[in-house]
Amino acid sequence: MENTDHSFYVYALKDGRKNPAQIFYIGKGTGTRKDDHLLNVDDTNKGIFIREIIQTGGEVIVSILVDNLTEVQALTLEAELISAFGTEKNGGILKNSVTPKSFIIPSKQPLNLPVGMYELATIGLKFIKKAMLEFLAANPDGIKNADFARYLNLHSDNAGKQKDYLTYSVLGILMRENKIKKEVNGKYKIRKLN
């Protein structure tokens, strides 16, 4: 079924003290979401930077980059733009806090880390988790891991042996987040909140 809700947009917050104004945050939303950052300034790096701009007499410019999007289109474009600009903690310019620090694991050997790779992985995982939760919501009797792998085309290839590690891993994350539970019959179900 095609999504007909085209109320989403992708926006940027820009530092108006620079000429041209420099983007420091990318987001997606509907309604007044783009303005919420200025109405309720938080204590994130983005919020601290917004306060700095205002306190020095500058202006935070809010720009809708693309509108009339479905949620999936908006999420995809947001992910691509965050990846392209990169976050400050990964060598980019954005103050977005998409990447949990736990994803950065030191290595014994030096590795080349492309700008935006953490953001892409984090956002990709969010998409997979969302797809799995929607699949579960549509099947309240539960779904087995093999069905997730088959219907979401996420089969693992382990030297020709199908182990479906990816879906097991994501199901484990969703269980740790207390969003789903595993039944004794091996099926996963959405956890009902009391």
- Has residue 135 got a pLDDT over 90? yes
Residue 83's pLDDT band (boundaries 50, 70, 90)?
confident
**Cα(150)–Cα(116) distance, rounded to whole angstroms?**
29
Query: For 23, left (φ over 0), alpha (ψ -120 to 50), or beta?
Result: beta
- Has residue 101 got a pLDDT over 50? no
Average pLDDT over residues 76-96: 83
* Burial of 175: CB neighbours in 10 Å, binned 0-12, 13-18, 19+: middle
Q: Is the peptide bond before 20 cis (omega within 30 degrees of 0)?
A: yes
- Has residue 79 got a pLDDT over 90? no
The structure tokens listed for 74 are 């908006």
105-128 pLDDT, tens digit per residue, is 455 566 676 767 777 787 888 889
Mean pLDDT of the chain: 84
Output phi, psi for 14, to 5 deg.
-125, 150
Of residues 1 and 101, the one with the higher pLDDT is 1
- Has residue 93 got a pLDDT over 70? yes
The structure tokens listed for 153 are 């085309």
Residue 104's pLDDT band (boundaries 50, 70, 90)?
very low
Of residues 176 and 194, the one with the higher pLDDT is 176
pLDDT at residue 100 in the model: 32
Residue 161's pLDDT band (boundaries 50, 70, 90)?
low
Q: Do residues 36 and 47 make contact, with C-beta atoms less than 8 angstroms apart?
A: no
pLDDT at residue 99 in the model: 45
Q: Do residues 164 and 156 make contact, with C-beta atoms less than 8 angstroms apart?
A: yes
Smallest CA-to-CA distance from 76 within 134, 124, 109 is with 124
Domains and CATH numbers, the chain: 8-98 (3.40.1440.40), 117-190 (1.10.10.10)
Residue 162's pLDDT band (boundaries 50, 70, 90)?
low
**Cα(76)–Cα(74) distance, rounded to whole angstroms?**
5
The structure tokens listed for 32 are 């007044």
Q: Do residues 23 and 65 make contact, with C-beta atoms less than 8 angstroms apart?
A: no
pLDDT at residue 103 in the model: 34
- Has residue 14 got a pLDDT over 90? yes
